[in-house]
Amino acid sequence: MGTRDARVDGYIAKSAPFARPILSHIREVVHAGCPDVEEAMKWSFPHFMYKGMLCSMASFKQHCAFGFWKGSLLKDANTPARDAMGQFGRIRSVADLPDETRLLRLVKQAAALNDEGVKVARAPKAPRGKTVKTPDSFIAAVRTNKKALATYEAFSPSHKREYVEWVTEAKADATRKRRLETAVTWMAQGKERNWKYTPAKAAATTRTSARTTGSAR
């Protein structure tokens, strides 16, 4: 039989009211689809383990996220969203998730992959120290903010690449402009591109900002 972790109960209870039914629903479906699943807290948000990583869920201020560790190998799974963790984009209600029958099927597929020991082919890591080619328009925007520039220059090549690719991959000019403005704002706050999807880091940043604001008063 599977196990439940009291820390997951606490995580759900502390989440925003809109998120609680979403997280509770996901939890029950995962247990129904994989009765031997074990719960754990990793990187400050709930994970479900079955012969390795199976799936995870998380809540944020205005949405939840849910994803399978081997989501790219699942049939009938949504295309991974670029603006949220997992395969289902920003989940704001239970209705944003696949229906229960489909979700159960995905959980069973994911468990079967772990039973079979199937591995996900990982993209090769970029060589350390490799120079990232940054568009002139990008660096010009970053240079308008000293704090953003300092953060960007201190980033590792991979962290620089995350921001550059996020901005340049946008197809519409308006989207690129909006992303660039957001990137500068986040870097001025010392944030990595994916800071919001790393709850522990996001919480630390929030606490730091709060202390800074308090001392300035």
Give the tens place of pLDDT for each residue, 126-176: 555 455 578 888 989 999 999 999 999 998 888 899 999 999 888 888 898
Q: Which helix (H) or strand (E) holds 105?
A: helix 100-115
Ramachandran bin of 112, using left for φ above 0, alpha for ψ from -120 to 50, beta for the remaining angles: alpha
Which domains, ranges and CATH numbers included, belong to the chain? Answer: 6-115 (3.90.1150), 136-206 (no CATH)
> What mean pLDDT comes out for the span 16-29?
97
Q: From its phi and psi, is residue 117 left (phi > 0), alpha (psi between -120 and 50) or beta?
A: left
| pLDDT for the residue 62 | 92
pLDDT in the model for residue 89: 87
- Residue 68 above 50 pLDDT? yes
CA distances, 2 to each of 23, 33, 195 (Å): 18, 11, 32
- The answer to whether residues 42 and 12 touch, using CB atoms and an 8 Å cutoff, is no
Among 12-21, 23-32, 106-115, 194-203, the range scoring the smallest mean pLDDT is 194-203
| DSSP letter string, 131-184 | PP---HHHHHHHTTSHHHHHHHHHS-HHHHHHHHHHHHT-SSHHHHHHHHHHHH
Nearby residues of 181 by Cβ (< 8 Å), 6 or more positions away: 141
Q: How confident is the model at residue 182 (pLDDT cuts 50, 70, 90)?
A: very high
**What distance in Å separates the CA atoms of residue 180 and residue 132, rounded to the nearest whole number?**
17
Average pLDDT over residues 43-48: 93
The confidence band for 78, taking pLDDT boundaries of 50, 70 and 90, is low
Going by pLDDT thresholds of 50, 70 and 90, the confidence category of residue 106 is very high
